Amino acid sequence: MKICLYSDVDVSNVHPVLGGGAKVSFEHQKKILEMRDIDYTHDPGEDYDILHINLLGPPALYQIFKASRNDDVKIVVHTHLTAENFKGSYTGSSLLSPIVDIYTKYAYSRADMLVAVSNYTKNIIKSKGIETETLVISNGVDKEELEGFEQVNLSLENYDEESFNIVNLAAVFERKGVSEFINCAEEMEDSKFYWFGPRHKFLTPRKTKKSIKSSPENITFPGFVDDKREAFKLGDVFLFPSRSEEEGMAILEAAYCRMPIVVRDIPAYEGWLVHEENCLKAESKNEFIKQVKRLKENPDLREKLGANAKKMAEERTLDKIGEDLEGVYQKLYNQE
């Protein structure tokens, strides 16, 4: 059995804003293939049995079309892209979302198997009338990438390790909850807020740029950080107010680092993020402020949520989800 783990471009050179979770998922799958000693290539010109697609650009769509005409080749596509999650991300993304909807329906309908990272995404796919079998497998967390986060050196001189620090790790989109993050900083002047993540010069909406420019002095946007462990070492609370997610890979990483997590109460988290057990959930600006303040004032609650979050994340490490992904490949490979 040989897998063609295909990407339109060199994934390492994709801008973090554009690649998002699909870029990291691609790297995770590559690592799983190597861990499990599964033969693979990135070159569609070689012979292979299964085509696996993450980044769904036009060249990938062509490879799907070509592979679908070969009865000996099976196609698996990760459903990272949906119109619902694309909408509200970049400048013009809301206008383009209907086109994305048509585009993804075509691609997903030609696959032999779809992989969704949450039941929420699976339900979106099914609601569009796509009949391709869809399995749910987490993006996973690379525990080796996070090892030693407690000892990592912080790269910026203005990090304040003595303060109570609230952090986020995400591309800077309005959809990711920039407004709520800034609102919390405005109401908690005695704490520090850090949003680690890239901004794209042209794709970031004017409204988001304006919000950042007028944000209070206790909030910092350091940009993309080469070593994400810095965020998890610095932070006392992980505040992730995103309004729409497929899963939320940064949440899994924060959880693995035993961070207490505050998220928006959205469908993507149902069944694995449980309010008051391994996270706190909020729906409004005032609720986010309330939950973050609770954590600041209650170290026992921070310890409880962090410990339970770690247990949850340990069930989604690459060695655990690798078995599920190999199962997908074997199922397709054994089909007549």
| DSSP codes joined into one string, 36-67 | TT-EEES-TTS--SEEEE-S--HHHHHHHHHH
Measure the CA–CA gap between 51 and 112, rounded to whole angstroms.
10
Q: Is 17 helix (H, G, I), strand (E, B) or coil?
A: helix
Residue range 143-314 forms a domain whose CATH class is alpha beta
Where do you find CATH 3.40.50.2000 in the chain? 143-314
pLDDT of residue 15: 47
Measure the CA–CA gap between 203 and 93, rounded to whole angstroms.
9
Measure the CA–CA gap between 279 and 261, rounded to whole angstroms.
5
Which one, of 76, 66, 100, 73, lies nearest residue 86 by Cα? 100
CB neighbour list of residue 336: distance below 8 Å, 6 or more residues apart: none
CA atoms within 13 A on the CB side of 251: 28
pLDDT of residue 173: 83
CB distance 79 to 125 below 8 Å: yes
Please state which of the four CATH numbers 2.40.50, 3.90.550, 3.30.1490, 3.40.50 is assigned to the domain occupying 2-140+317-333: 3.40.50
CB distance 332 to 113 below 8 Å: yes
CA atoms within 13 A on the CB side of 272: 23
Which one, of 160, 163, 159, 164, lies nearest residue 293 by Cα? 164
Tell how strand 50-53 and strand 2-6 pair up.
Answer: parallel
Place of tokens 């809301």: 94
CB neighbour list of residue 114: distance below 8 Å, 6 or more residues apart: 76, 77, 78, 79, 108, 125, 130, 132, 133, 134, 135
22 sits in which H/E element: helix 16-35
CB distance 239 to 184 below 8 Å: yes
pLDDT of residue 93: 61
Mean pLDDT by 10 residues, the chain (336 residues): 88 52 86 97 96 92 94 94 71 73 92 95 94 95 93 81 93 88 95 90 76 92 90 96 92 97 96 97 95 97 98 96 96 86
Measure the CA–CA gap between 22 and 79, rounded to whole angstroms.
9
In the chain, % helix, strand, coil (3-state, to 5) comes to 45, 15, 40
